[in-house]
Amino acid sequence: MSWAGHQMVGRFFLEAFGSAMQQAAYLPALATGRITAAVAISEPGAGAHPKLLQTTARRDGGKFVLDGEKAYVTNGPIADLFIVLAITAVEDGRKRYSAFLVPRGTPGLSEIEGPKIDFLRPSPHCGLRLTACRVPENAMLGPADTAYETMALPFRDVEDAVGTGGLTGTLRFMLHLLAEASDAAASSEVIATLGELAGLIALIGRGSDALVAALGAGDLLHGDNPATLVGIRGLTAHVLARAKAYRASVNPAIPDKLDTLLRDLDKSLAIAKGPRLVKQNRLGMAHLEKRP
C-alpha cells in the first residue's frame, strides 16, 4: 500500500498537474525514492466530503496561509512533501478548493497522531495540523479553485483501480491460508467451497487486469470500467463473507495472520464507503433510465 501510494501520488498529482518548476524540483527525487509525497484531503469527522472539509488557504501578499487539520494521511509519517487540499474560495455557498505543495519542516506544519488506524500495517498513517502555515504562491498545484473536481474525485477512481491489484494478491494469499488450515481429508463441501473461492478470486483478478489496462490507456471512466470497479468491490464482499464462514468451520488452529488478513480486508472495504455507494447508486439509476 505504501509503495502504491508513493507511485500514485507522484504520477497523478506531480506528473499530471505540476508546473515545470515543480516537476523539476520533485519528480526526480520521487522517482529515485529520495523523497516520498503524501496527499492530505480527509479531515477528522468529515472524511473527504467537500461540504464538510474546513481547512482554508487565504492569500497574504505573495504567500498563502493554511489553517486546518487533516486525518488518515497514508505515508504521512515517512513523507517529505504533503499535497494539502484547502478552501480558497466560496461561490454561491459552494466551497472551492486548491491544492498546495507543503514540504515537511514548513513552519506551522506539524504531524499529529490522528484517528487510530489498527489495520493495513505496516503502512503508516498520521494526521496533520496546519497553523498559520505559510507557503509561496508557486506552491499551488494546478489551477486555483478546481482541485476537488480535477484532483480529489478522479484520484479516488485511480486509487480504486490500482488497489484492485493489491486486493487480488491479498485474496489469493487468503485462499492459500484457508487451504493450509484445512484438514488433509477435506470433505467434498470443503473442497467445493475452496474451488468456488478460487474461481471468484480469478474473476476479480481478470477485472483488475482490465481496469489497470484502462487506466494506462486513459480510459478508466469509459465503457464498462466504472461498473467493473463496483462489481469487484461487491464480489470481494461476497468472497470475504464466504471466507469468514469457511474459516469458522475448519480447523480452529488457524494462524493469527489469517485472522489479521480477514480483519484488514473487512476494514479496507469500509474505507470511503459513502462515496463508493454514491457511484453504485448512479450506476443503478443509469440502468433504470434505460428501461423501455
Q: Which domains does the chain have, with CATH numbers?
A: 2-145 (2.40.110.10), 150-289 (1.20.140)
Q: Are 86 and 66 in contact (CB under 8 A)?
A: yes
DSSP state of 62: T
Query: Taken in order 68, 73, 79, 81, is the CA torsion positive or negative?
Result: negative
The enclosing H or E element of 245 equals: helix 225-249
Which residue out of 159, 180, 189, 196 is catalytically annotated? 159
159 catalytic, yes or no? yes
Neighbours of 63 (CB within 10 A): 15
Retrieve residue 9's grid coordinates. Answer: 501520488
Closest CA to 21 of 139, 110, 109: 139
Pairing state between β 109-112 and 125-136? antiparallel
Mention every residue, 6+ apart, whose C-beta is less than 8 A from residue 272: 47, 48, 156
Residue 98: per-residue pLDDT: 97
Question: Is the pTM higher than 0.75?
Answer: yes
Phi-psi region of 93 (alpha: psi -120 to 50; beta: other; left: phi over 0): left
Residue 212: per-residue pLDDT: 92
* Separation between Cα atoms, residue 204 and residue 175, nearest integer Å: 13
Mention every residue, 6+ apart, whose C-beta is less than 8 A from residue 254: 177, 181, 247
* Separation between Cα atoms, residue 165 and residue 5, nearest integer Å: 13
Retrieve residue 220's grid coordinates. Answer: 478508466
pLDDT (tens, 9 = 90+) of the chain, 292 residues, equals 888 889 999 989 999 999 999 999 999 999 999 999 999 999 998 888 888 999 999 999 999 999 999 999 999 999 999 999 999 999 998 999 999 999 999 999 999 987 777 777 888 999 999 999 999 999 999 999 999 999 998 888 888 899 899 899 999 999 998 888 777 666 788 888 899 999 999 999 999 999 999 998 989 888 899 899 989 999 999 999 999 888 877 665 566 788 888 888 888 888 777 777 777 788 888 878 776 6
Residue 17: per-residue pLDDT: 96
Residue 164: per-residue pLDDT: 92
